[in-house]
A and B are shown apart, each in its own frame.
Chain A
Amino acid sequence: MTAVHASAPPVLQLDRLARRRAGRTAVQDLSLALPPGQVLGLLGVNGAGKSTTLAMIAGALRPDSGAIRLNGEDFLERPELARRLIGWLPERAPVWPELTVTEHLDAHGRLRGLAATALRAARDATLARLELQPLARRLAGTLSQGQRQRLGLACALLHRPALLVLDEPANALDPVQVTVLRALIREQAAAGTAVILSTHVLVEVTAVCDRVAILHEGRLRHDGPVRADDHAALERRFFEIAMQGATPAAHAA
């Protein structure tokens, strides 16, 4: 399954990343590296710090301390690196409701610095790949949540980023679309794109990820490879971590 370029320098490197949010520690002392072509699944219960971590990696949120390196360069010093290197699908795929699907892709392409010709080609290819052509002229505000999710994914993929950051990408997708999404993620990894995706669905991790990191209360509690036939072991490990500090009633359940 893996297309990891093991000897290649990491696309993403986090060093002791920390961030407080709403008066509590959301992420603490988080360090990891992601080489090109690897799919890393970020697992954790709600509030574990997954979305905060991804928002910091995407450049939408500044860490309180620590360092983020993209292709060896300091991302916090050079936030403009996000423009070309990162594609981000945030949780709930926010859209500009008054823009059509095509206009969304055009706007994202321009924001990411694509030239007109390259943008047209990338737009058409992405619309086709994500089967969005029938929706091309629809206003984003009229799309269903699943369609918005696909549009968000299209925007993240449009400029062929070196790092794809996906926050709960399978949210609101039907089973057919979930299969398409998994194939797409593997396709991106095979092309050398590093992918980091957050989820709390364990099947998602064993289906597409090469490696899994489990966050709990903002800290990295597990980081290791994933085998497709290893679902039970991963589940056991996840629940061990997730139940740390839980009430006896939660343990019994």
Chain B
Amino acid sequence: MSFLAMFRLELRRLRVQALAWVPLALSLAWLGWCFTRLLGDFLAGEIQRAALPDGPGYVDLVAVPLLGQLAQLAFLVVPLLAMSTLAGERRNGTLPLLFAAGLPASRIVLGKYAVLLLWLLAWLLLTLAMPLSLAHATTPDWGKLAAATLGIALMLAALAALAVAASAFTAHPAIAAAVALLLGLALWTVNLGAQMAGIDDGAINWLAMSTHEQNLLRGLVSTADILWFVLLIAVCLALATRRLAADKERG
């Protein structure tokens, strides 16, 4: 009951914020342009590919690269969407109102996170609708598309959890957004040095988000990759919850 109340309150707050709509609208316009460009390239190379028995198809050349574009945009869009979730409450002085309504910190964090996920899911589905609108005219590799979609969904969920955690530690939404952006980029590129040195299977590679995301975008679904994302989400949400609970303790 209180989770639902929190969810509805946060949904209403997000729905009326320009910062919730503008990044999504601009990014969808960009993705629409990317889609037409990718589709143009796909159609232009169709005759050459016909000669290759196992050549890349519609999903490899249009859908997955489009989702890859969305993944890149997510590093910027997710922190913008999430920056006010908890930092905004702290800035407005409304966090004590939520505590005084008997809401535990975990329910406040989960209610806000669920709204963010809903918003990001809508973003992902609208992006996915572009390649799917022409799927009837091709023979897509549904398995690969499903794996890539799962990968992007997990990545969005992880970045959202990271941004909620960043938002829990400050009263300034802009700082929360900057920290979330930096942490997201750091997690993605943490193994860059190791890769450049030719190390492909070290622990540092396991830490990097890119390692797990690229497997899923290639169509390889493994429990280890999924667990990595789930672990990151759980750690971030636990940190956010602990910070809010400490707010109530410390005042």
Cross-chain contact B92 with A60 (CB below 8 angstroms): no
CA distance A144 to B5 in the complex (A): 27
Fill in one digit per residue for B103-114: 1 if any A CB lies within 8 Å of its CB, else 0. Answer: 110000000000
| B218 interface contact, C-beta 8 A | no
Give the residue among B5, B98, B248 with the most A Cβ atoms within 10 A.
Answer: B5
Cross-chain contact A62 with B249 (CB below 8 angstroms): yes
By a CB distance below 8 angstroms, the chain A residues around B101 are 82-83, 108, 111-112
Fill in one digit per residue for A91-104: 1 if any B CB lies within 8 Å of its CB, else 0. Answer: 01011111100010
Q: Which of the residues B12, B93, B103 comes within 8 Å of A111, measured between beta carbons?
A: B103
B142 to chain A, nearest CB (A): 41
CA distance A61 to B99 in the complex (A): 8
Cross-chain contact A96 with B251 (CB below 8 angstroms): no
B118 to chain A, nearest CB (A): 18
Cross-chain contact A99 with B12 (CB below 8 angstroms): yes
Of A30-38, A51-59, A221-229, A238-246, the stretch lying at the interface with chain B is A51-59
Considering the complex, give the chain A residue whose CB is closest to the CB of B84: A98
Cross-chain contact B93 with A90 (CB below 8 angstroms): yes
By a CB distance below 8 angstroms, the chain A residues around B5 are 107, 110-111, 113
By a CB distance below 8 angstroms, the chain B residues around A108 are 97, 101
By a CB distance below 8 angstroms, the chain A residues around B94 are 94-96
Q: Which of the residues A86, A88, A96 comes within 8 Å of B92, measured between beta carbons?
A: A96
Cross-chain contact A98 with B100 (CB below 8 angstroms): no
List A96-126 residues whose CB lies under 8 Å from chain B: 96-99, 103, 107-108, 110-113
Cross-chain contact A62 with B248 (CB below 8 angstroms): yes
How many residues of chain B get a CB closer than 8 Å to chain A's CBs?
Answer: 26
By a CB distance below 8 angstroms, the chain B residues around A82 are 100-102
| B49 interface contact, C-beta 8 A | no
A244 to chain B, nearest CB (A): 26
Whether A94 contacts B12 in the complex (CB less than 8 A), given A61-B248, A82-B102, A112-B101, comes out as: no
By a CB distance below 8 angstroms, the chain A residues around B96 are 55, 58, 60-61, 90, 94
CA distance A83 to B101 in the complex (A): 5
By a CB distance below 8 angstroms, the chain A residues around B9 are 96, 107, 110-111
| A81 interface contact, C-beta 8 A | yes
- What are 24 A-B contacts with C-beta separation under 8 Å? A19-B251, A59-B100, A60-B99, A61-B96, A61-B251, A79-B99, A80-B102, A83-B2, A83-B102, A86-B100, A94-B92, A94-B93, A94-B96, A96-B9, A96-B94, A99-B13, A107-B5, A107-B8, A108-B101, A110-B5, A111-B5, A111-B6, A111-B101, A113-B5
- Known interface pairs A58-B96, A59-B102, A99-B16; 14 further A-B residue pairs with C-beta atoms within 8 A, sorted by A's residue number: A21-B251, A60-B99, A62-B248, A79-B102, A82-B101, A83-B2, A90-B93, A94-B94, A94-B97, A98-B17, A107-B12, A108-B97, A111-B2, A111-B98
Q: What 10 pairs across the A-B complex have the smallest Cβ distances?
A: A94-B93, A60-B96, A110-B5, A83-B102, A111-B101, A80-B102, A82-B102, A58-B100, A60-B100, A107-B9
A residues in contact (CB < 8 Å) with B? 19, 21, 52, 55, 58-62, 79-83, 86, 88, 90, 92, 94-99, 103, 107-108, 110-113, 155
